[in-house]
Amino acid sequence: MNWYENRKLEKLELAPDFQSMQSVSLKPKTQLGGPFRLRESRTGKYITNDELFQDKWTLLYFGFSKCAEICPSTLKFISEVMRVCDAKYGPDSELVAEERKLQAVFLSIDFIRDNPEVVEQLVRKYDPRVRGLCGTREEVDAAARAWRVYYSSVDETSEERDAREAAGVAVPEIDDTYQLDHSSAIYLVGPDGKMKDFFFKEMGVEDIVSRVGIHYSDIYGFSDTRQTPRK
């Protein structure tokens, strides 16, 4: 049973059909995203969602460093999306500085094996604007709940859990080959910290780059909700 089934969440009103060029207004019943506080892999220091997203466009992806195939290929894909966005939108004089370049955030759901050093070893293989985050079980759960992200837990019987906790061991011990299941969406977060869209790698680079451009120009009415005007 997954995270959604466990909690019987309110059904989301999703984004409009982006094949149409007609401007529409979307007011989701449930806005994805919310407050979290996690450690950044590059510095080892805690950072909040507001500090992370403020005045930047961000591609947000949840995964884990020991992922055998999907996470590495998705991070490579995200890096390519960023490169093509740079080439396509970077020279556009009508875009302000925050829209000229994306950043990406890899948020680890593996609170057992992933620490800042481990996550940094992974993200440094890709575009230098890919930032890594990690945290404790409670910190990761808070971020996953905010973004409606499903991820599997370690298979453990109640007897095994009771014995572990009785021994004072906070989390299960797993080796580097243990794989975790998780959601695969890539979220586009605006410079106001609000989710604007979500993508899947199967859509392809060009389609996602085009949709990012749509949000840069904001023709669908996803208004900037920051209190102060951007410079």
Q: State the pLDDT at residue 52.
A: 95
Strands 186-189 and 57-63: antiparallel
Domain-located, residue 12: no
User: Which residues make up each annotated binding site for Cu cation?
Assistant: 67, 71, 182
Runs of H (alpha helix) within 64-107: 70-89, 97-100
Q: State the pLDDT at residue 109.
A: 87
Domain-located, residue 11: no
Domain-located, residue 83: yes
Domain-located, residue 18: no
pLDDT along the chain (231 residues), means of 10: 36 39 42 89 96 93 90 96 91 68 91 93 95 94 88 63 63 64 86 91 95 78 51 48
- DSSP-derived secondary structure for 132-196: EEE--HHHHHHHHHHTT--BPPPP--HHHHHHHHHTT--S----TT----B---EEEE-TTS-EE
Q: What is the pTM of this model?
A: 0.75
User: Which residues make up each annotated binding site?
Assistant: 67, 71, 182
Q: State the pLDDT at residue 175.
A: 61
Domain-located, residue 140: yes
The domain that holds 161 is classified in CATH as 3.40.30.10
Q: State the pLDDT at residue 158.
A: 64
Give the residue numbers spanning the domain of 144: 36-217
Q: Determine how many CB atoms are found less than 10 A away from the CB of residue 109.
A: 24
